[in-house]
């Protein structure tokens, strides 16, 4: 039947027009094969290092069901790469001691028998998680888990729908694509409704119900925006002159908003809209003795904004992960470079993924690897509860059976 | 890493870059971003090259990775880490003028599709991949590919019609 369908659509008028499209990239190739090998070797070294650590320091204890209990023995060594993260030794004076997570367990969230599924968000209490399931032969749909159980709620309409955040009352926000582009939605109780403001994307909601995101097209042609409640009309957040667009990325429990704003043809940098109504550009951290080119915020927890410093020095682009303290205006380097997002908790723990795509929890200078689910190696993290004990994320390995073996997971630690 | 394996990798990559750039360019509509996607795709391939023995169809595998890299927007900033000093070289390279055709209504319409719909249309009709393979690249069922194709073509028809009407004015 496949061939028949194909022949029919091949003669489609729209397909014929589509095929007039020039398909050669207009600029000469900058693909550097030698660099794929250099970078590939570096990633292999990271994997071997990670595997060695696991064998030496981890005891696996068989446990019931889908849960695997692992105990880690920190500290993990700093990643063996040249670059700013190797020098990232936080000052011993940097705040109270952060409790190192122990007894971490990984659990797959239930999916009603659907193999491919993932998480996209979690709430500050650790009770609610949002995600997507990909049933065979049916459309992908958004789902909510309540205390680890699938909750019967309607799915978000649209394509590529995603709940980007959920609060402690189970109110979730996100966006999907329709004919007009991105459209923001909010789930309250058993109803999914559009946020006001036309084309928009919602990125985050706090426990007070304040929603932030982008009006227009996120990550390229939009404006940072704030909805004071799920039923409110959005307001554009002010930007300094010279900046032409941006996205609000996260909102703190006190109403502080952090985002990334752009000058024309730049990658943008971090900006803070504080709860007192003032706003300011985030300063540039110093990476290896030189000022960073930009700071890209990814999450907020209390006084801390977490994200990456970017430095273009004319020859190289390097990244380093930081916690920025809003009260002091100072950056504290994290002991490992984390892939986005880095997510903080009020007890100082930070969740992220390392260069080898392992899920890790950082406590002070310790980098604790979270247990793998059924031997899968690559993860994306999506949430960390405020107490730093419940994390969520999903696997992204390519296996012989699956192009992308997504499994929705939570990790619980003491 | 034995040299033999490296030369096998180079032999495989040689001659495939143009095709991968073409697919990536159709998917993302920007030649720099397309090169980023190809660079990351080949890096992932090389990282796993020594374990590729059990993969029967390498081209299908590489296409899967390419589509996955394109769709994985959440991590797009992350794999840029891999670019490092390669970026400024690109900035210094002579910029070819953007042909008028680049702003054509066809490309505009294609870019107006949601990423997954665009991937389905590009892979099926511009890269001539069968439904079965497209389903595998995207990690969805063949039924989903067909329904996404139908939705995408409906949308394209609307956009093409609107553009034609505008031209006549």
SS3 readout for A270-285: EEEECCCCCEEECCCC
B122 DSSP assignment? I
Q: Which residue has the higher pLDDT, A137 or B168?
A: A137
The phi, psi pair for A247, rounded to 5°, reads: -135, 135
For B90-100, how does the pLDDT look when each residue is reduced to its tens digit (9 = 90+)?
333 333 444 44
Q: Which of A15-19, A237-241, B72-76, B144-148 is most confident?
A: A237-241
pLDDT at residue A137 in the model = 75
Whether the predicted pLDDT of A35 surpasses 50: yes
Q: Which residues of A257-270 are buried (b: 16+ CB within 10 A; e: fewer)?
A: bbbbbbeeeeebbb
Which chain B residue's Cα is nearest to A320?
Answer: B81
Interface check for A180 against chain B (CB to CB < 8 A): the answer is no
Interatomic CA distance for residues A133 and A144, integer angstroms: 10
Query: Which of A19, A27, A340 faces B126 most closely, judged by CB atoms?
Result: A19
The arithmetic mean of pLDDT across residues A299-315, rounded, is 86
Please give the tally of structural domains in chain A. 1
Prior bond of A75 cis (ω within 30°): yes
> Which residues neighbour A391 within 8 Å (Cβ) at sequence distance 6 or greater?
A122, A343, A351, A359, A361, A370, A381, A383, A384, A385, A410, A411, A412, A413
The arithmetic mean of pLDDT across residues A232-242, rounded, is 96
pLDDT at residue A58 in the model = 28
**Gyration radius (Cα) of chain A, Å:** 22
Domain ranges of chain B: 1-96, 99-169
pLDDT at residue A289 in the model = 83
Interatomic CA distance for residues B64 and A187, integer angstroms: 33
List CB contacts (< 8 A) between B126 and chain A: 18-19, 21, 23
* CB contact (8 A) between residue B157 and residue A398: no
For A350-401, how does the pLDDT look when each residue is reduced to its tens digit (9 = 90+)?
999 988 889 999 999 999 999 999 999 989 899 999 999 999 999 988 777 7
pLDDT at residue B74 in the model = 40
In a domain? residue A121:
yes
* CB contact (8 A) between residue B22 and residue A400: no
Q: What percent of chain B has pLDDT above 70?
A: 72
pLDDT at residue B159 in the model = 85
Question: Three-state DSSP class for A358?
Answer: coil
Owning domain of residue A250: 34-412
Q: What is the pTM of this model?
A: 0.64
CATH number, residue A88: 2.130.10.10
Whether the predicted pLDDT of A11 surpasses 70: no
The arithmetic mean of pLDDT across residues A45-57, rounded, is 43
A168 HSE (CA, 13 A, CB side) = 11
pLDDT at residue A179 in the model = 67
From the number of C-beta atoms within 10 Å of its C-beta (0-12, 13-18, 19+), residue A244 rates as middle
The arithmetic mean of pLDDT across residues A146-154, rounded, is 92
Whether the predicted pLDDT of A319 surpasses 70: yes
For A327-338, how does the pLDDT look when each residue is reduced to its tens digit (9 = 90+)?
999 999 999 988
Which chain A residue's Cα is nearest to B13?
Answer: A33
Assembly ipTM: 0.79
Interatomic CA distance for residues A333 and A331, integer angstroms: 6
Both structure tokens of A194: 């559009």
Interatomic CA distance for residues A333 and A93, integer angstroms: 13
* CB contact (8 A) between residue B42 and residue A36: yes
Interface check for B51 against chain A (CB to CB < 8 A): the answer is no
| Confidence at A314, pLDDT banded by 50, 70, 90 | low
CB atoms within 10 A of CB A302: 18
| Confidence at A171, pLDDT banded by 50, 70, 90 | very high
In a domain? residue A394:
yes
The arithmetic mean of pLDDT across residues A47-76, rounded, is 34
In a domain? residue A6:
no
What dotted CATH number matches B99-169? 1.10.10.10
Which chain A residue's Cα is nearest to B26?
Answer: A23
pLDDT at residue A9 in the model = 61
Whether the predicted pLDDT of A220 surpasses 70: no
Interatomic CA distance for residues A233 and A196, integer angstroms: 5
Whether the predicted pLDDT of A349 surpasses 90: yes
CATH of B1-96, one of 3.30.110, 1.10.10, 2.30.30, 1.10.1740: 1.10.1740
Q: Which residue has the higher pLDDT, B115 or A332?
A: A332
pLDDT at residue A391 in the model = 98
Whether the predicted pLDDT of A343 surpasses 90: yes
Identify whether the C-beta of residue B45 lies closer than 8 Å to the C-beta of residue B65.
yes
Both structure tokens of A83: 């670059």
In a domain? residue A398:
yes
Q: What is the mean pLDDT of chain A?
A: 83
Q: Which residues of A203-236 are buried (b: 16+ CB within 10 A; e: fewer)?
A: bbbbeebbbbbbbbbbbeebbbbbbeebeeebeb
Q: Which of A288, A205, A273, A276 is nearest to A243 (CA)?
A: A273
Interatomic CA distance for residues B139 and A48, integer angstroms: 28
* CB contact (8 A) between residue B125 and residue A15: yes
Interface subset of A 379-398, CB within 8 angstroms of B: 380, 396, 398
Interface test with B, best of A3, A24, A33 (most B CBs within 10 A): A33
pLDDT at residue A21 in the model = 83
């Amino acid at each position: 039947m496949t061939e028949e369908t194909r022949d029919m659509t091949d003669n489609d008028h729209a397909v014929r027009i589509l095929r007039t499209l020039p398909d050669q990239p207009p600029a000469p190739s900058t693909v550097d094969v030698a660099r794929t090998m250099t970078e590939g070797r570096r990633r292999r070294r990271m994997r071997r290092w990670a595997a060695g650590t696991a064998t030496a320091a981890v005891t696996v204890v068989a446990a019931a069901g889908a849960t695997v209990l692992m105990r880690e023995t920190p500290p993990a060594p700093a990643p063996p790469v040249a670059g700013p993260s190797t020098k990232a030794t936080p000052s011993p004076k940097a705040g109270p001691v952060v409790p190192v997570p122990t007894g971490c367990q990984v659990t797959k969230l239930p999916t009603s028998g659907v193999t491919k599924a993932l998480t996209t968000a979690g709430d500050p209490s650790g009770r609610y998680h949002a995600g997507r399931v990909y049933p065979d032969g049916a459309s992908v749909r958004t789902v909510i888990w309540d205390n680890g159980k699938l909750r019967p709620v309607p799915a978000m309409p649209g394509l590529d729908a995603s709940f980007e955040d959920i609060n402690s009352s189970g109110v979730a926000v996100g966006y999907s694509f329709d004919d007009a582009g991105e459209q923001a939605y909010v789930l309250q109780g058993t109803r999914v409704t559009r946020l006001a403001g036309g084309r928009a994307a919602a990125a985050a909601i706090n426990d007070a119900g304040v929603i932030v995101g982008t009006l227009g097209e996120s990550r390229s042609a939009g404006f940072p925006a704030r909805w004071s409640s799920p039923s409110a009309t959005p307001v554009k957040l002010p930007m300094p002159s010279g900046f032409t667009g941006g996205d609000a990325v996260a909102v703190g429990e006190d109403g502080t908003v952090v985002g990334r704003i752009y000058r024309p043809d730049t990658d943008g940098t971090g900006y803070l809209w504080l709860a007192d109504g003032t706003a300011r550009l985030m300063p540039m951290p110093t990476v290896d003795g030189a000022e960073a080119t930009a700071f890209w915020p990814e999450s907020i927890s209390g006084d801390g904004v977490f994200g990456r410093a970017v430095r273009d020095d004319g020859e190289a682009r390097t990244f380093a992960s930081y916690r920025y303290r809003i009260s002091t205006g100072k950056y504290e380097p994290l002991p490992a470079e984390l892939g986005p997002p880095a997510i903080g908790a009020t007890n100082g723990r930070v969740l992220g993924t390392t260069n080898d795509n392992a899920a890790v929890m950082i406590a002070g200078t310790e980098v604790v690897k979270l247990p793998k689910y059924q031997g899968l190696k690559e993860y994306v993290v999506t949430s960390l509860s405020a107490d730093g004990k419940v994390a969520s994320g999903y696997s992204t390995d390519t296996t012989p059976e699956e192009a992308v073996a997504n499994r929705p997971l939570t990790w619980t630690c003491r | 890493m034995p040299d033999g394996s490296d030369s096998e990798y180079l032999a495989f990559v040689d001659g495939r870059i143009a095709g991968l750039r073409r697919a990536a360019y159709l998917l993302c509509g920007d030649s720099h971003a397309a090169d980023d996607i190809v660079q990351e795709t080949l890096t992932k391939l090389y990282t796993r090259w020594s374990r590729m023995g059990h993969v029967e169809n390498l081209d299908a595998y590489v296409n899967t990775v390419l589509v996955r890299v394109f769709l994985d927007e959440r991590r797009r900033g992350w794999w840029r880490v891999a670019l490092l000093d390669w970026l400024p070289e690109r900035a210094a390279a002579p910029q070819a003028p953007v042909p008028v055709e680049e702003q054509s209504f066809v490309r505009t319409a294609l870019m107006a599709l949601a990423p997954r719909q665009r991937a389905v249309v590009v892979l099926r009709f511009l890269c001539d991949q069968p439904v079965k393979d497209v389903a595998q690249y995207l990690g969805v069922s063949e039924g989903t590919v067909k329904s996404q194709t139908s939705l995408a073509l409906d949308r394209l028809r609307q956009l093409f019609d609107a553009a034609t009407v505008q031209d006549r004015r």
